[in-house]
Amino acid sequence: MKRAFLGEFEEVVLLTVAVLDESAYGVTVTQEIEQKTGRAVGFSTVHTTLQRLEEKGYLSSKMSGATAERGGRRKRFFTVTAAGRKALMEVKSIREQLWDALPPQTLQLMGG
């Protein structure tokens, strides 16, 4: 089985795109990550990651929605593809398996 290789940041970006649903483009993704994770992410990092995810086929994009604020330039809106969803699900299930495998006392220790 071909496994999806998603880096941690890639996973965050992919998830964020999924969260933002229809309105995911460079700016919103950056802002969303900043707000949700509280860490300062560079726009360039987000942009590069989005490009990479599209190349991998987890995202598709189309151009639209020019505004005056952007100097008349269009936005590139991203949506998660079927492959992207599958990859996210896989990552999630791996995580869950791992969490499930965690002995309860350890969990309590951590929680404590």
Partner 1 sequence: MKPIKRPDHPNRNVGPPPRWATTLLGWLGDPNTVEEVQGDLLELYAYWVKTVGERKARWRYTLSILKLLRPLAKRKPSNDYSQPFFLSPAMIRNYFKIAIRNLFKQKVYSAFNLVGLALGISCGLLLTLHIKEELSYEKGFPNHDRIYRVVSTEWSKSSPPLAGEMKPFFPDIEHITRFASRGTQVVNSEFNEQGESTGFYADSSAVPVFSLKRVAGDPVRALAERSSIVISRKMAEKFFGKRDPVGRKLIFDNKEELRVNAVIEELPENSHLKFDYLVSMPTFYKDVPENATNNKGWMFGWTYVLFRDKAGVAKAEKRLLDFFKQYYGGWPKDEMDGIMEFAKTVRFQPLTDIHLKSNLIQEMGPNSNILYIYVFLAVEILILVIACVNFINLFTTQALKRAKEVGMRKVLGARKMQVVGQFLGEAFILTILASLMAVFLYEIALPFYNDIAGKQVSGWEIARPENLIIIGLIVLFVGLLSGLFPSLFIARFEPITSLKADKLPKSSANALRKSLIVVQFVVSAFLIISTVLIYQQMNLLRNQQLGFDKEQVLVVKLYGKLKEKLLLNPDLFKNEIARNSAILAVGQSSNLIGDDLSVESVTPINPPAGKEYPSVKVTRVDADYLTVLNIKLKEGRNFSRQFNDSASFIINEKTAQILDLKNPVGAFVENKSMNLKGKIVGVIRDYNFASLHNQVEPLVLEYKPQWTGNLLVKIKPGNPQETIAFLKNTVENLAPNTLFSYSFLDERMAALYRKEDHMSTILNAFSGLAIVISCLGLFGVVAHESKIRTKEIGIRKVLGASVGSLVSLLSGSFLKLVIIGILIASPITWYATDQWLQGFAYKIDVHWWIFGLAGLVILAIALLTVSLVSIKAALMNPVKSLRSE
Binding residues for partner 1, rule: CB under 8 A, are 25-27, 30-31, 42-45, 47-48, 51, 63, 66, 69-71, 73-76
Residue 61: helix, strand or coil by DSSP?
strand
Minimum distance from CB of 39 to partner 1 (Å)?
Answer: 15
Dump the DSSP string for 4-40. Answer: P---HHHHHHHHHHHHHGGG-SHHHHHHHHHHHH---
When the beta carbons of 4 and 75 are compared against partner 1, the nearer one is 75
Minimum distance from CB of 102 to partner 1 (Å)?
Answer: 38
Taking a C-beta distance cutoff of 8 angstroms, is the pair 45, 62 a contact?
A: no
- In total, the chain counts a number of residues equal to 112
Minimum distance from CB of 18 to partner 1 (Å)?
Answer: 19
| CB-count burial class (<10 Å; 0-12, 13-18, 19+) for 11 | middle
When the beta carbons of 31 and 83 are compared against partner 1, the nearer one is 31
When the beta carbons of 4 and 10 are compared against partner 1, the nearer one is 10
When the beta carbons of 47 and 56 are compared against partner 1, the nearer one is 47
